[in-house]
Chain A
Amino acid sequence: MSDGDIPPRVRVTGRPRTAPTTRSVVSEIDAQTELGEVYVRSLVRSQLRLALRVTAILVLTLGLLPVLFASSATARRTALLGVPLPWWLLGVLVYPFLVLLAWLYVVRAERNERAFRELVRDR
């Protein structure tokens, strides 16, 4: 093969994939523009809302038990398989319940982050 066989260089062109005037979300975030801030705030808010929602579930279940036990003798004294209800709830069942809440939170929090990543990458 001699040098003369090389075809002339051809420049492949096309329309630019992104409009040159818009900046990527990452650079908006890095430059801390208003738009970038809106993105970050939306992520922080969605994670905080999720955390507060799980806390609310905890307060409305576990958090009401002391009031329930203080006010209702039935709740204090009912027994299942010879063990009183408060001991079942606070000694055994509370632990799988906490793990369940934690697991729900982890799944949702990761979903929020995935949504944010896709939002940032797509633009």
Chain B
Amino acid sequence: MNGWALGAVLAVSVATLGIGAFGLRVSRTTSDFFVASRVVPPGLNASAIAGEYLSAASFLGVAGLVLLRGADMLWYPVGWTAGYLMLLLFVAAPLRRSGAYTVPDFAELRLESRTTRSVASCLVVLICVFYLVPQLQGAGLTLRTLTGAPEWLGGMVVAVVVLLNVLAGGMRSITLVQAFQYWLKLVLLLVPLAFLVQRWQHDGRPSSHLHVADWIEPMQGPHSVYLTYSLVLATFLGTMGLPHVVVRFYTNPDGPAARRTTLAVLCLLGVFYLLPVGYAALGRVYASDLIGSGRADSVVLTLPGRMFSGVGSDLLTACLGAGAFAAFLSTSSGLVVSMAGVLSQDLLARWTGMVAAFRVAAVVVVVVALGLALASSEQTLAHTVELAFAVAASTFCPLLVLGIWWRGLTAPGAVVGLVVGGLLSASAVVLELVDRAPGGGWGVVCSQPALVTVPAAFLAMTAGSLLTRSRLPEHVGRTMVRLHSPEELPVDRGSFRPRGATPRTARRS
């Protein structure tokens, strides 16, 4: 039992709740001010995106996976960074110019179809649930490592904090708070690593368990070529479809600013992802017993205790525990808020009032994710997060890329593609999560579905659109002008207003 660590975790949770409950008025005016005048500079916006993006998988999971399986796992952080390059190349500026607040908004604008919007909304919920699972698992693991509490308790704590927060109406894309989160996580991972590396040098740079061929050399495992390329496809193409990332692009002033923001995000993530590899390498030397124990994900939190003793160890562990909790809370809150907004607007608002629907949506989604997290204790964190990326890559990536660059995309084609990609990838993910994947080749596909499901979704969307060529959206020409023409040109961009932005506009006036 580490008192410092418990205190740090409590402090982070209480601070988050405090911002949610008492900072409500402040947050509302600041976020509205920013969205209204659209003056969030790219550097600040990039910090906010990175702060919301770096989750349990990045803070704990990458080090755990690299510790366990070595060089091939370096593709995880590479893919999570390169995902922003793909987003920059194909999506950033046109998405900002579309004025869409969420992917369902974009679907409605481009395809002029309520059905497509509803299908996209369902997928937002699905991706959020899959993404929440590893956050809750990570919280359980962290609390267990720090205090010995049972695994389900940490997940419950984060679920409760996030729900209280969302129900109170807080953490609504507060740019400054999320931007601060990035720097907090970076410092809380960097400073302990500096102490640990110093200790390692003081110990005479031991290197046991490092020079093992199937750890230090890439492409040694079975099916490694398929698995690596599938992982690359999922992470490179999945980032652009994540709901809490898309929402942030709305606060950019214009298309060029959206590009510069993305460029800055690449820099920030590149710096952060240098660190987990250090923890993994030190873990091989000082905590090699974790490798076979099924608890590799706890390596970041375990290392200080192995290399230091007394107060020094407690303080470093407290730093890392607080950083990990900050990661769970910021990502989970961002996800639940963006998802509950979509769910209440599109699916539940017909039956209940908006606010009630928002609350019901948040509770339902968090409970489902908690159930899945408890049912699937065997997977590593980073892998579970990557499965959510596979679903995003198999659904929203084709929708956004084809919608932005190909006039021929029709609403029926888009629906067919979303359903095919969503069903294929989601069933693979569920089978993998509850450990019911078939053996042999299909099992391999289930563990990394993207290389099969992403091309399938693109094919279905293209074929479906070509077969329904007569049903091109009426205003597709105008929409193309809106997506691609520079802001300074006084051209007619149509009159679309995203539904997601309406409450903000109303509150502002």
Contact = CB atoms under 8 A, between A and B. Distances in A.
A44 B405 contact: yes
Interface in A51-103: 51, 54-55, 58, 62-63, 66-67, 69-70, 76-77, 84, 86-87, 90-92, 94-96, 98-99, 101-103
A30 B270 CA distance: 42
Interface string B75-118: 10010011011101110010000000000000000000000000
Given A90-B75, A94-B78, A109-B93, A70 B85 contact: no
B89 A105 contact: yes
Given A43-B485, A98-B270, A91 B277 contact: yes
B270 A95 contact: yes
Given A90-B75, A109-B259, A26 B270 contact: no
15 contacts: A32-B478, A47-B484, A51-B89, A58-B85, A76-B219, A84-B216, A87-B71, A94-B78, A94-B81, A98-B266, A98-B270, A99-B263, A102-B262, A106-B263, A117-B488
A90 B71 contact: yes
Nearest to A48: B405
Given A62-B78, A87-B71, A102-B88, 12 more contacts: A26-B489, A43-B485, A51-B89, A84-B71, A86-B74, A86-B218, A87-B277, A90-B75, A94-B81, A94-B82, A105-B89, A110-B256
B355 interface: no
Given A96-B270, A99-B270, A58 B82 contact: yes
A51 B406 CA distance: 14
A69 B491 contact: no
Contacts of B259: 105-106, 109-110
Contact of A86 (B93, B217, B405): B217
Q: Is the interface of A mostly helix, strand, loop or mixed?
A: helix
Contacts of B89: 51, 54-55, 105
A52 to B, nearest CB: 8
Given A96-B270, A99-B270, A102-B85, A44 B262 contact: no
A62 B71 CA distance: 15
Interface residues of A, number: 44
**Which of B82, B93, B232 gathers the greatest number of chain A CB atoms within 10 Å?**
B82
B128 to A, nearest CB: 27
A53 to B, nearest CB: 10
Given A30-B491, A43-B484, A90-B75, A95 B273 contact: yes
B82 A98 contact: yes
Interface of B: 71, 74-75, 78, 81-82, 84-86, 88-90, 93, 216-219, 224-225, 228-229, 232, 256, 259-260, 262-263, 266-267, 269-271, 273-274, 277, 405, 477-478, 480-481, 484-486, 488-492
B364 to A, nearest CB: 38
A116 to B, nearest CB: 7
A35 interface: no
A37 B484 CA distance: 12
A77 to B, nearest CB: 7
Contacts of A26: 489-491
A112 B84 CA distance: 21
Nearest to B66: A91
A63 B88 contact: no
Contacts of B78: 62, 90, 94
A52 B256 CA distance: 19
B259 to A, nearest CB: 5
Given A32-B478, A48-B405, A106-B263, A98 B81 contact: yes
Interface in A24-42: 26, 29-30, 32, 37, 40
Contacts of A51: 89-90
A70 B486 contact: no
Contacts of A98: 81-82, 85, 266, 270
B269 to A, nearest CB: 8
Contacts of A37: 477
Contacts of A70: 218-219, 224-225
A91 B74 contact: yes
Nearest to A54: B89
Nearest to B89: A51
A27 to B, nearest CB: 9
A66 B228 CA distance: 7
A91 B78 CA distance: 8
Contact of B274 (A77, A95, A105, A113): A95
